[in-house]
Structure 1
Amino acid sequence: MIKSFELEKFGPISLLKADNLGKINLIIAENSKGKTFILKALYSVLKSHEEAHKGKNIRDFSEELRDKLYWTFQVEEIGDLVTRGKENPNERPLKLSMTLEDSSSVLFSFGRTTKKLIKPELYELSPRINANSIFLPPKEVLSLFDVIKKSEEEKRFGFDATYIDLVKALDIKPTKGRNYPEAAEARKDLEALFGGYVSYNDKKKAWVYEKDRQTFSINSTAEGVKKIGILDTLLGNRFLSPGSILFIDEPEANLHPKAINQFLEILFSLSKSKLGIQIFMSTHSYFVIKKLCLLARKHSESIPVFMPGKEKEQATWVQENLQNSMPDNEIIGESIRLFREEIGVLSPETAWIG
């Protein structure tokens, strides 16, 4: 579990200091403000650390990190990730630090002239041999499964490393024996959302959707079903295990409000279970923010929320907590504005309410 992190001069993020992180952590902002950038930055560091310690031979973390940043953000040079200052492009370097629950840490920095080599100033993260992190993008990957795999083989830009890693995780065959009880329960709830499940058909060599004893092509299956099916599969093949960290970019994508509500309840239960899965989500959906706020207050659970500062300080992010209240943010503000507009249309004499 990540306990704290700090980003400085990382792409659109001027400064973000996050501490006292919870089992669920939410990042909210308008488009192009850096929500996904934050998720990918954290994922890249954590995944590089995990991959450096997987297998018999321990690989160099610096090389893993360089490659992961390169293929995740798909920049020409690593230095392109550094925020460019208006007056002095080389004024300050990019910095990222992360501390895990056991207080083990990593810290690295680099400037705009950096091309390949990243030397961590501190690298003392404890091994995560039996825990996996994974990134779920807004777009599903099942219908493009073979295309994504081929793009990795050919080492070309198109699908970034988060898609490649997800395809590899989904490619793991389910193992025999009893699954974790919490994972089995979550799978029942996920499959109940749409009354079926997705699986890989070895005979057809393709992903399919099975419902009511009928088999449907994954290409003719609704996007929302495929989205839910991906999480169901990761629980079924036990890729998501105790201590895993899940990064979800726009959990609301391709889901109707009722499904969003149920999906978030399942994620909340997973985070609270003995599996101890930590979740980072980014969103610009009022439904997601409101539902998580209700869950936090109902269960007295801390859910940190991060968002850009106001006006000139937008590149510097602030931290609040959904357990206390809904955040003062443009997403919430627009919902309130629409409510006032509705009141004004229905009853002009009460349009001042708010």
Structure 2
Amino acid sequence: MIKAFEFNNLGPLEHVAADNLGQINLIIGPNSAGKTWLLKALYSTIRTLEEAGRGHDNRTLSEVLSDKLYWTFQPDKLGDLVTKGKGKKLSASVTLENQPALGFGFGQETTKQVNDLEDSGIQRRQANSIFLPPKEVLSLEKIILQTAVQEKQFGFDSTYSDLVLALQKDVPQDKMNHTLAQTSQALEKMFPGRIEYDRQKKEWIYKVGNARYSINATAEGIKKIGIMDTLVRNQYLTPDSVVFIDEPESALHPDAIIKLFDIINVLARQGMQFFIASHSYYVVKKLYLIAQKEDWSIPVFYCQDNKRREWISADLKDGMPDNSIISESVRLYQEEVGLALD
């Protein structure tokens, strides 16, 4: 589990840091504040520790990290990830549970290789982490594989290509972890059918009973839940996985959002860690209720002032944070009450 992080001069994030991270961590803030940048930076770092030395991959940790940052952010050069300003240098530190910190940094002139890296004594991870972007990938699978994996062209970053490859993993024949089996059942109950991969036709379908529907004609929300269900069923995700979700509310009805977070709560109790970036009041409120019910610490990080780029940390266990998502919801409620009283 990721226990702490610190990033300085990472694109729009001049400084953001946190320690004592929880099983579920929430990132909120206005557009362009840097929420997705933070998720991608954390994802790139932890995937580096999972990919380095795996199988016959003989790349060094520095080479894996360089590749991961390059294909995740897709800049002309790595130095473009550094916050604009004379003499600024990016520095980063990510600490995993019971491990020394993985630190790295580079300047604005860096092209493709991170040379300033500290990884003394850090162990590689055997589990798999995943990034779930706002846009579903099932209907785009072939074009993602062609452009990102085969042709090595920019367009779909590695969060998309990694996800497509993870979804292709076969469902093991051995018995699934009891909690994960229950999770899969709960995900499938959210909609009447199941997302499946037709290996003969090499395409995804939505199956309801004996009826089969094209994935292109399937609702976005069903596909998003189907992706999560597939990763649980094929056991790409395990209790030690870290899951990054960008805008989980995208294409989901509020009722489905609530059910999804009930499932996330179960997975977090079993050991999975979640980092979630959201604009949704429903997401904030549901996580607040989970924190109260479970008596859990759920750290929340928010950019209160988009101009100053100042990040503030709080804990949903202590109450709802004072932020623009909450404030706007309250304002609309007050406006509605005012209209009713007129």
Task: Describe the SS at the equivalent of 2:143.
Answer: helix
Judged with a 3 Å threshold, the aligned counterparts in structure 2 of structure 1 residues 81 and 57 are, in CA distance, closer, same or farther, namely closer
Per the alignment, residue 40 of structure 2 pairs with: 40
Could you list the runs of 5+ residues in structure 1 that have no partner in the other structure? 349-354
Corresponding residue of 1:62: 62
Per-residue deviation at 1:121? 3.8
The TM-score normalised by the length of structure 2 is: 0.97
Could you tell me which residue of structure 2 aligns to residue 330 of structure 1?
Answer: 324
Q: Which amino acid aligns with 1:114?
A: T
TM-score by length of 1: 0.94
RMSD: 1.2
Equivalents in 2 of 1:53, 1:24: separation in Å?
28
Contact 1:53 1:128 in 2 (8 A): no
Secondary structure in 2 matching 1:128: coil
Q: Percent identity?
A: 49
Q: CA offsets per residue over residues 89-116 of structure 1, 9 Å max, x none?
A: 22x3111101001132201111111112
User: Which residue number corresponds to residue 82 of structure 2?
Assistant: 82
- Which among 283, 289, 302 is matched to residue 288 of structure 1? 283
User: What CA distance in whole angstroms lies between the structure 2 residues aligned with 1:57 and 1:242?
Assistant: 25
d(CA) in 1 for partners of 2:117 and 2:195?
Answer: 44
Residue among 213, 221, 243 paired with 1:216: 213
Which residue is equivalent to 1:299?
A: 294
Q: 244, 247, 270: which is aligned to 1:247?
A: 244
**Which one-letter code corresponds to 1:43 in the other structure?**
Y
Name the amino acid aligned to 1:153: Q
Q: Are the aligned partners of 1:27 and 1:307 in contact in 2 as well (CA < 8 Å)?
A: yes
SS of corresponding position for 1:8: strand
Deviations 1:3-62 (A, max 9, x none): 000011101011111111000000001111111110001001111121112114542111
1:136 aligned residue (132, 138, 146): 132
Q: Give distance in 1, aligned partners of 2:290 and 2:317.
A: 8
Q: Is the Cα contact below 8 Å between 2:29 and 2:304 reproduced in 1?
A: no
Of residues 152, 161, 177, the one that matches 1:180 is: 177
Change in CA separation of 1:57 and 1:31 when aligned onto 2, cut-off 3 Å: closer
- Tell me the equivalent position of 1:50: 50
Question: How many equivalent pairs are there?
Answer: 340
CA-CA distance at 1:291 after TM superposition: 0.5
Counterpart contact for 2:304–2:324, Cα < 8 Å: no
Q: Structure 2 CA distance, aligned partners of 1:180 and 1:229?
A: 19
Match of 1:164 in 2: 161
Give the structure 1 partner of residue 9 of structure 2: 9
Change (3 A) 1:308 1:173: same
C-alpha distance in structure 2 between counterparts of 1:241 and 1:66, whole Å = 26
Distance 1:115 1:277 in 2: 35
Structure 2 residue identity aligned to 1:54: R
Moved beyond 2 Å, runs of 4+: 56-59, 309-313
Any idea what SS the aligned residue of 1:194 has?
coil
For residues 303-318 of structure 1, what are the structure 2 equivalents within 5 Å? 303-310=298-305, 313=308, 315-318=309-312
Deviation, 1:317, is 1.1
SS at match of 1:84: coil
1:230 to 203, 227, 231: 227
Equivalent-residue separation in structure 1 for 2:339 and 2:240 (angstroms): 51
Paired position in structure 2 for 1:352: none
Gaps of 5+ in 2: none
Instruction: Give the conservation status (yes or no) of the 8 Å contact 2:92–2:105.
Output: yes
Kindly provide the amino acid, as one letter, of the partner of residue 257 in structure 2: I
